[in-house]
Structure formats: C-alpha cells, structure tokens
Structure 1
C-alpha cells in the first residue's frame, strides 16, 4: 500500500487529534462488533448535496454568487463530456480555493473523476472526504461524507478491483460514516484486506480507530502496535497507541507513548497539551 494513502499521517494533524480527544467533554458511546445493530449506528438525519450547497451559498458575496451561477450553467449546457469535466474542475477550484468550502471542493473533484473514470482522482477525492469524516461530530454531515466517499471508492474498485486501500476506505465509511446499521459489514471488509496483507497499515489504523470508537481498547492497542512495529515514525499510530492505553487505564504505557509523541513532533501547542496530559497521569 502506498504511504500517501494513510489517513491523518502528517505530524501537523497530531495537534488537531490532541485537541479533539483532550477537548472532548461527552464520553463516546460504546459499540461492540458483537452487536452490529447498536443504536449508535442508527440512520442520521439526511443531508443532501443541494442543502449543503444552499448553506454554503449564504456565505458568498454577490461577485462569488455570479461566478457560481456561471459555472453551474456550464454543467447544464455542456453537451460534451469534456465540457462537463472542465466545469466540475472549475467548480472544485471555486469551492475549494475561492469559497474555502473544501468539502464541496472534494465533492466536485469526485464528480469530475466519475466522468473521467480516473482511479487516481476518485481515490484523491474520497480521501479528502474520509479525513474529515473520521473527525466530524455532526452525524448528518458525517453521513453525507460517508455516502459520497463510498460511492467514489466503489467506482474506483470497478476500475481496479485489486485496490485494497479502496476496500479499507469503504470499510471506514461503514464504521465511521453512519451509513448503515451494520458496522460489522465494514469491519469484515477491512479484516479481509488484513488477512491477505497482515502489514497493511491503513487497515490496522482503521480497525484501531474503530476499537477506540467502540471502547475495545485492547483491540485498538493490538492494531496500533502492529503499525508502530512496522513504522516507528508513524506519529498518528503512536499517538493513538498512547490514547488507547490512557483510556484503558494503563498509565505507565500511556505516559511511555505520549512521551514518544512529545519528543518527536514539532508543534509547540501539541507538545504543551501532551505535557499536561503526562503530568495528569503521573
């Protein structure tokens, strides 16, 4: 698996992860993979793309609205596939760069990729959505991202059925995207990839995050340790290993791994957060 296909691997995101976990005030509900019909996976209120666009439109100025109207007409009037592809690319740039609505930017990258039948761009757009989906706390928005990412990854698999990263990504949609009342379906997809490739870091990370989500910290630790064993420099895996030990109540190992993260990251705010957590555990 290509390294760039790992989710949340950059050291700069460690700060966000630290703030997300340490800033949480409401405990997560536990979901056991022995109970795939848990209420937590119940269908979230539907959020449509049109609604998302309408909400984003309210933030635009008059000049941006005029530009958007022009770009949207380009899709409707485009009677040649390449014209539609170009219009989608322009909309992706508009929303992502001009309007700073990166989710809609990713959506239109994906729409263009579907017409292009581009495995690379389908995977790229899906990864953008998956990264936000894993962090999102708004269930309807999280579900929208999960549905969109799953569709892109399924299209990618039609092009390349051997793309294990796409399979793991679809599994993540089931686990974290509230797209189904049967999260075990996602777990099974990821496990199948691991059965074929026991060193697949992406699969281990997804199952590890699933272990944290469900409160099964021993399972989470097992998966994060597998990643760290193969790649000690993977700071996201190291941080989540510390987090898992922390939540399990194993203070010694939590301090050990938090210290590794603190010593290797270069973000001052993250170092401060981790130092405070270490002191609280001592």
Structure 2
C-alpha cells in the first residue's frame, strides 16, 4: 500500500485558506473529474497562464466548456474597464472551485491580478497553485514545476504589501522550498519566523510536513506533538502524526492518531475514507 494518499490529505490540511476542499473532494482520492491536465505532460514546451488555461478549458465537458466560454466572452464587452474585467476573472475562478479544480481557479485568479493588484488574490492564487500540484499525475512534471514556480511568485507578490504578515511569509517560504533548487533558503525563513514567534502555527506545520517529505519522521513527530500541546484538538496535527508514525513503521501509533483525527471529522465522505485507510493499515 502506498502512503501517498494520506500524505496528500495532510498536505491539503496545511494550506490554510484552501481548507474549503473538505466536503467536496477528499485528497485521499485525488483527481476529480476536471483534474486531468492536457497541457504539457513532460513535453518540454514552456508553459504560461494562457496556454495552461486553454488546455483546461479544452478538457472540460461540452456543457461546462460552453458555460465558461459564455462568461469569458463577456470580457469583450467590458473594453477598457480593468476592475470589472478582474471581477469576471474572479467569477471564473469560482467556476473552477465549484468543480474542485484548484489549478483552474489559480489560473483565473492569476488573470484577475493582471488587471487588479490585490494582496488577497495573489495569496489565494499562490495557495491554489501550490495545492494543485498534489492533484496532478506524477508524470506531469512540467505542469508541476509551473505550479510550484507560480505559487512562489504569487505569494511573493502578496507579501510585498504585507511584509509583516507571518502567516503569509510562512506560506511563501514553504512554496520557496518546493520550487527552489536551494530549498534551505525557505527553511531558514520558516526558522526565523519561529524565532520571532515560537509557537507560530503555520511555520511549525510547514516544517513538520517538510520533515515527513524528507523522511525525517522523528522531527515531524516532535513538531506535530508540540502543535497539539499549544493548539489542543488541531486536526492536522493528529493527521500528521498518523502519517509520520505510519511511514516510520509504527502502525499502532499511526492508528491511534488517525482514530483521534477521525473523531474530529464532520464530513461523512472524509470519515468513510479515513475508515477505509484505517482498515488498510490495520486489517
């Protein structure tokens, strides 16, 4: 059994504003109906926002494609009215969100920021890009690299107008780790945040997740346990402990923490998927 599904669930819990995915599609079963990206699976063709979005639109079913294009066509009538045009692109971003497609949402919100510079839109687009990576086919490294780079760039733009926002800085630093050939720069930023605010939730969460991804399971366990001490009942910490213990070979502890997480979940679909996962690791 691959540990990838549970790690995906952990990643989705750690992205902050994108917690909306609960009740719509669980990361235990990634790949909703619009997650297939036809753009450039390792074709070597440079990607940009417009080309990736065009591929996403082409991959829609005919009814949804018609709905999208009808709204997009309204941009022509707006002429030189950037604020109104940005509003249309934000509406189109919501179109993708209702279809559980974070990449489509990120692309349209990205287009909106070209017309209206807003820190919250840069932030959300950056988080959507970062989360979208985990729904891509593993072989689609070209689009994954595009998303990681865009995530870092969008979050950096958001940070320009809010340089003292530690949550935003933590998200940017995490994106930097994911996209940079020198990831320690992002790690150092996360550590600096913790020196400034020792119990900072996002910085510790990102470092714990990165520890799991790099196989440093004892470090991940220590950070998640600290988070539970500081923030009792934090669902992502229980889930992260389940992931870390499982991947470190301690199934009994993994089951304990996943069961505790299961008790916090309200969404029936997610409850069922956690139950299925528990049955797989503890038949």
In structure 2, the partner of 1:85 is 86
What residue ranges of structure 2 are gaps of 5+ in the alignment?
A: 1-12, 31-43
In structure 2, the partner of 1:16 is 26
Structure 1 consecutive aligned stretches of length 4 or more whose deviation exceeds 6 Å: none
SS of the residue aligned with 2:282?
A: helix
SS of the residue aligned with 1:88?
A: helix
In structure 1, the partner of 2:167 is 165
Structure 2 Cα separation of the partners of residues 54 and 127 of structure 1: 21
Task: Answer whether contact 1:126 1:148 (CA < 8 A) is retained.
Answer: yes
How many aligned residue pairs are there? Answer: 250
Task: Answer whether contact 2:75 2:85 (CA < 8 A) is retained.
Answer: no
Structure 1, residues 257-282: CA drift from partner, whole Å, max 9, x if none? 223223333434134224314525xx
Choose which of 138, 146, 153 in structure 2 pairs with 1:144.
Answer: 146
Instruction: Indicate the RMSD between aligned Cα atoms, in angstroms.
Output: 3.4
Task: Answer whether contact 1:95 1:102 (CA < 8 A) is retained.
Answer: yes
Structure 1 Cα separation of the partners of residues 197 and 259 of structure 2: 30
What residue ranges of structure 1 are gaps of 5+ in the alignment?
A: 21-43
SS of the residue aligned with 1:16?
A: coil
Instruction: Give the TM-score of the pair, scaled to structure 1.
Output: 0.73
In structure 1, the partner of 2:16 is 6
Structure 1, residues 122-178: CA drift from partner, whole Å, max 9, x if none? 2233233333335544432222222222222111111111011222112221333xx
SS of the residue aligned with 2:143?
A: helix
In structure 2, the partner of 1:30 is none
Q: Any residues of structure 2 matched to 1:1-282 within 5 Å, and which?
A: 6=16, 12=22, 16-18=26-28, 46-60=46-60, 61=62, 63-64=66-67, 66-67=69-70, 70-71=73-74, 73=76, 78-97=79-98, 101-113=101-113, 115-134=115-134, 136=136, 137=138, 138-176=140-178, 179-266=179-266, 267=268, 268-277=271-280, 279-280=282-283
Instruction: Give the TM-score of the pair, scaled to structure 2.
Output: 0.73
Residue 64 of structure 1: how far off its partner (Å) = 4.1
Task: Answer whether contact 2:14 2:205 (CA < 8 A) is retained.
Answer: no
Structure 2 Cα separation of the partners of residues 218 and 146 of structure 1: 27
Change (3 A) 1:71 1:222: farther
Change (3 A) 1:113 1:218: same
Structure 1 Cα separation of the partners of residues 67 and 264 of structure 2: 43
